[in-house]
């Protein structure tokens, strides 16, 4: 699914050149939920953008969904991104589109599917994230947790095999943060979709199948904490 | 019906109409954009309308003549300075086998005294033999009979009101008399010709009355000669023959050539064309600036959203297409009110100035094309901002 070997990355050039990733190795199996934690500025997001084909690989080896990203063209990366779902810290929904239309921007990427089928899929996804009653609401009419759930529906609507999430709970309170990650994990499981989630949030670490910690551009394996006992 | 499955396939392949939603979900911005585009369109409609109307107005009378060819003096430069030439030349053309008939016409500006306030004003006087065909309008022949009486004129009821309430008085049954160059004339009837650039009004007289009003006209001299050809003859061939046979003291033109001669005078020896084209260009530039501002700020405001779409795997050309369609929609939506307002303003101009300004198809197409260029050009400039959308920066 994802194979990263000996990945190094630098920002800037000349004197200002600064290494953010050093010899990173990471493998994600299909359907696996991997959480990546670590202090800010340690290179988590950079790793995510490299795996998400949003940046050109400088040194090392990255293979995502069977495609080599070393020396890939803009076009190849764009096509690969269609098969990767992305969830952002800010929900990044399109302000001028309703919840349903936002999700359909995801399903519109699917080839050979009629408009009606794509729209019905979008509605299906919104029902799956529990927003069946808010199809026509604009993002500013939704709460933070609802917006993030729309974003999850949008990311899954394109039938990705890999989901990348960057601090999806950062802007949410404990309760809705919990709901969002549980939902994310459940739906990813159902779709047999692997998840790589960057998070700071210690409250959600237990959803991980595997926890990876990063420090100063290097990865350290860490034990997955036990889920909180249900009350 | 064979087109329907194809259409249905295209219809089912449609996507979320992002351009439309971007525009309509920001009504205030859309209203400003449409107001700007419509304003530019109206400005262009008015400037082009005035320009074409003024040129068309210069040939109001020229268009009416019942003629195929026209003889004028080479010294004539326009309808306001027609020079005379020997009437003999016109008669000579009758020798040509294809010439069916001729009408000698006297043509000059005279001073007409307003019968109400007694002020004088320059009016175009046309003198002809009342029995000869002059205009294509068949109603003239009956009215022209009254001109056989000396001192009678037919007054153009479409003349500007400064010439006095001649038409009203005449219709009321009053005897309307006035003076031309110190000679008394009586209005014997009304015709409808229309004002032109050079003449604010028109009167028709017989050649005999004309000679009385303008006693300095040399006998046997006319200003315009109308030549009607036999059906089926080629005007170009006849012109060539006449030019070869006639001395160089006359010019032979087609009716269209006669009208072009008049229009060219106003076009080339006045700044009208330049002024109004410049005015239209100003409207175009103002529109460009407004549309560019709107689209540029629209793209800038939505830059993170465009970057998100790129991260989701949308292609840059797809997003450029969104901006292009915004430009196209603005052009279409902005043109409609401009067209409607143009129609209204043209009728206002017609009633206020009597200029023949109409919404003709070439001008409607021209203004639409300019608006389209304006919007698409601005969209193209605004697209460069999309290059700044970096999907790697949104995490």
pLDDT (tens digit, 9 = 90+) per residue, A156-174? 998 899 999 998 888 788 8
Same domain flag for A37 and A130: no
User: Which residue from A78, A106, A115 is facing B315, i.e. has the nearest CB?
Assistant: A78
The verdict on residue A185 lying in a domain is yes
Same domain flag for A23 and A116: no
The verdict on residue B69 lying in a domain is no
Residue A95, min C-alpha distance to chain B (Å): 8
Same domain flag for A54 and A18: yes
Same domain flag for B378 and B277: yes
Is A97 in contact with B16 (Cβ distance < 8 A)?
Answer: yes
Helices A99-107 and A115-128, packing angle to 10 deg: 120
Q: What is the mean pLDDT of chain A?
A: 88
Same domain flag for B288 and B150: no
Same domain flag for A108 and A138: yes
Same domain flag for A171 and A73: yes
Same domain flag for A27 and A54: yes
The count of structural domains within chain B is: 2
Residue A187, min C-alpha distance to chain B (Å): 19
pLDDT of A227 above 70: no
Q: Where are the beta strands (DSSP E) in B135-182?
A: 152-156, 177-180
| CATH code at position A61 | 3.40.50.300
Same domain flag for B109 and B180: yes
The B residues from 25 to 54 touching A (CB cutoff 8 Å) are: 25-26
Same domain flag for B46 and B88: no
Is A114 in contact with B394 (Cβ distance < 8 A)?
Answer: no
Among candidate residues B53, B37, B47, B51, the one with its CA nearest the CA of residue B338: B37
B315 touches chain A (CB under 8 A): yes
The verdict on residue B321 lying in a domain is yes
For an interface test with B, give the residue of A51, A82, A96 to mutate (most B CBs within 10 A).
Answer: A96
Instruction: Tell me phi and psi for residue B235, to 5 degrees.
Output: -55, -35
> Complex ipTM, two decimals?
0.90
pLDDT of A106 above 50: yes
pLDDT of A231 above 60: no
The verdict on residue A131 lying in a domain is yes
pLDDT of A229 above 60: no
Same domain flag for A69 and A110: no
pLDDT of A228 above 60: no
Give me the total of CB pairs closer than 8 Å, taking one residue from chain A and one from chain B. 80
Same domain flag for A186 and A213: yes
User: Which residue from B11, B304, B392 is facing A54, i.e. has the nearest CB?
Assistant: B392
The verdict on residue A229 lying in a domain is no
Average pLDDT on A14-43 reads 88
Same domain flag for B241 and B105: yes
> How is residue A53 annotated by DSSP?
T
Among candidate residues B204, B219, B68, the one with its CA nearest the CA of residue B128: B204
Helices B316-353 and B27-57, packing angle to 10 deg: 40
A101 touches chain B (CB under 8 A): yes
The verdict on residue A231 lying in a domain is no
Same domain flag for B296 and B186: no
pLDDT tens, position by position, B24-69: 988 999 999 999 999 999 999 999 998 888 888 888 899 999 999 9
The verdict on residue A230 lying in a domain is no
What DSSP assignment string belongs to B106-133? EEEEEEEE-TTT--EEEEEEEEE-TTS-
The verdict on residue A153 lying in a domain is yes
CA dist list (Å): B110 to A126, B134, B211, B292: 85, 20, 12, 54
CA–CA dist B135, B130 (Å, integer): 11
Q: Write out the residue range of the structural domain in which residue A143 sits.
A: 92-159
CA dist list (Å): B388 to B23, B316, B318, B391: 21, 11, 15, 9
Same domain flag for A79 and A183: yes
Nearest CA in chain A to B395: A88
Contacts of B45 (CB under 8 A, 6+ apart): B338, B339, B341, B342, B345, B346, B359, B363, B367
Is A82 in contact with B312 (Cβ distance < 8 A)?
Answer: yes
Same domain flag for B134 and B233: yes
- What pLDDT is stored for residue B226 in this prediction? 95
- What pLDDT is stored for residue A74 in this prediction? 87
The verdict on residue A9 lying in a domain is yes
Is A114 in contact with B13 (Cβ distance < 8 A)?
Answer: yes
- End-of-domain residue from the set A131, A159, A187: A159
User: Which residue from B12, B312, B316 is facing A81, i.e. has the nearest CB?
Assistant: B312
For an interface test with B, give the residue of A94, A135, A139, A140 to mutate (most B CBs within 10 A).
Answer: A94
CA–CA dist B112, B195 (Å, integer): 15
CA dist list (Å): B342 to B41, B215, B347, B352, B368: 8, 48, 9, 15, 12
CA dist list (Å): A225 to A190, A213, B156, B286, B365: 23, 13, 103, 65, 72
Question: In which residue ranges of chain B is pLDDT below 50?
Answer: 1
Residues of A in Cβ contact (< 8 Å) with B11? 115
Among candidate residues A185, A191, A47, the one with its CA nearest the CA of residue A106: A191
- What pLDDT is stored for residue B1 in this prediction? 46
Same domain flag for B24 and B79: no
Same domain flag for B42 and B114: no
Nearest CA in chain B to A198: B395
- End-of-domain residue from the set B249, B284, B316: B249
B257 touches chain A (CB under 8 A): no
- End-of-domain residue from the set A103, A124, A159: A159
The verdict on residue B64 lying in a domain is no
Residue A197, min C-alpha distance to chain B (Å): 12
B7 touches chain A (CB under 8 A): no
The residue whose two tokens read 């460069």 is: B384
Q: How many residues does chain B have?
A: 395
CA–CA dist A64, A84 (Å, integer): 9
Same domain flag for A11 and A78: yes
Same domain flag for A183 and A137: no
> Angle at the Cα of B258 (from B120 to B68), degrees rounded to 5?
115
Is A94 in contact with B308 (Cβ distance < 8 A)?
Answer: yes
Residue B38, min C-alpha distance to chain A (Å): 25
- What pLDDT is stored for residue B3 in this prediction? 58
Same domain flag for B105 and B149: yes
Residues of B in Cβ contact (< 8 Å) with A94? 18, 302, 305, 308-309
Same domain flag for A77 and A1: yes
The verdict on residue B12 lying in a domain is no
The verdict on residue B6 lying in a domain is no
The verdict on residue B388 lying in a domain is yes
The residue whose two tokens read 């409250």 is: A203
The count of structural domains within chain A is: 2
A48 touches chain B (CB under 8 A): yes
The verdict on residue B28 lying in a domain is yes
Same domain flag for B99 and B181: yes
Q: Write out the residue range of the structural domain in which residue B350 sits.
A: 17-57+271-393
Same domain flag for B360 and B290: yes
A83 touches chain B (CB under 8 A): yes
- What pLDDT is stored for residue A226 in this prediction? 65
């Amino acid at each position: 699914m994802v194979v990263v070997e000996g990945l190094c990355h630098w920002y800037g050039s000349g004197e200002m050149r600064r290494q953010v990733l050093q010899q990173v190795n990471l493998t994600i199996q299909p359907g696996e939920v991997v959480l990546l934690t670590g202090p800010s500025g340690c290179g988590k997001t950079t790793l995510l953008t490299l795996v998400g084909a949003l940046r050109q690989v400088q040194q090392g080896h990255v293979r995502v969904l069977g495609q080599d990203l070393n020396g890939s063209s803009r076009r190849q990366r764009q096509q690969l991104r269609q098969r990767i779902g992305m969830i952002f810290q800010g929900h990044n929904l399109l302000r001028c589109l309703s919840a349903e239309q936002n999700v359909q921007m995801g399903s519109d990427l699917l080839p050979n599917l009629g408009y009606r089928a794509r729209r019905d899929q979008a509605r299906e996804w919104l029902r799956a994230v529990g927003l069946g009653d808010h199809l026509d609401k604009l993002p500013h009419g939704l709460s933070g947790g609802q917006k993030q759930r729309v974003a999850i529906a949008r990311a899954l609507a394109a039938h990705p095999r890999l989901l990348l999430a960057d601090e999806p709970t950062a802007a949410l309170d404990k309760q809705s943060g919990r709901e969002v990650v549980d939902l994310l994990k459940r739906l990813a499981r159902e779709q047999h979709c692997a998840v790589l989630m960057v998070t700071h949030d210690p409250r959600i670490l237990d959803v991980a199948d595997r926890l990876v910690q990063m420090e100063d551009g290097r990865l350290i394996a860490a034990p997955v904490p036990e889920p909180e006992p249900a009350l | 019906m064979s087109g329907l499955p194809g259409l249905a396939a295209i219809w089912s392949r449609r996507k979320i109409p992002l351009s439309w939603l971007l525009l309509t979900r920001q009504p205030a911005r859309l209203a400003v954009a449409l107001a700007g585009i419509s304003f530019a369109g109206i400005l262009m409609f008015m400037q082009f309308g005035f320009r074409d109307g003024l040129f068309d107005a210069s040939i109001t009378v020229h268009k009416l003549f019942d003629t195929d060819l026209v003889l004028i003096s080479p010294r004539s430069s326009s309808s306001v300075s027609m020079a005379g030439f020997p009437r003999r030349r016109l008669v000579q053309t009758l020798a040509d086998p294809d010439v069916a008939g001729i009408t000698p016409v006297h043509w000059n500006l005279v001073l007409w005294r307003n019968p109400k306030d007694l002020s004088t004003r320059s009016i175009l006087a046309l003198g002809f033999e009342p029995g000869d065909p002059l205009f294509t309008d068949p109603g003239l022949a009956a009215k022209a009979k009254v001109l056989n009486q000396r001192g009678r004129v037919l007054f153009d009821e479409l003349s500007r009101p400064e010439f006095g309430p001649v038409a009203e008085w005449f219709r009321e049954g009053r005897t309307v008399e006035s003076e031309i160059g110190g000679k008394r004339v009586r209005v014997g009837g009304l015709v409808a010709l229309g004002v032109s650039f050079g003449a604010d009004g028109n009167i028709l007289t017989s050649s005999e009355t004309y000679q009385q009003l303008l006693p300095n006209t040399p006998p046997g001299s006319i200003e315009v000669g109308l030549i009607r050809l036999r059906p089926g003859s080629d005007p170009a061939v006849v012109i060539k023959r006449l030019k070869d046979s006639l001395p160089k003291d006359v010019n032979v033109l087609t009716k269209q050539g006669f009208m072009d001669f008049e229009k060219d005078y106003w076009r080339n020896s006045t700044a009208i064309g330049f002024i109004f084209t410049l005015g239209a260009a100003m409207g175009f530039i103002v529109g460009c600036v407004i549309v560019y501002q709107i689209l540029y700020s629209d793209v800038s405001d939505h830059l993170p959203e465009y970057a998100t779409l790129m991260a989701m795997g949308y292609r840059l050309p797809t997003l450029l297409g969104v901006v292009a369609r915004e430009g196209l929609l603005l052009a279409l939506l902005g043109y409609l009110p401009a067209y409607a307002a143009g129609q209204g303003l043209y009728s206002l101009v017609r009633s206020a100035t009597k200029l023949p300004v109409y919404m003709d198809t070439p001008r409607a197409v021209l203004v639409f094309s300019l608006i389209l260029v304006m919007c698409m050009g601005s969209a193209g400039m605004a697209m460069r901002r999309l290059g700044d959308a970096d999907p790697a920066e949104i995490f």
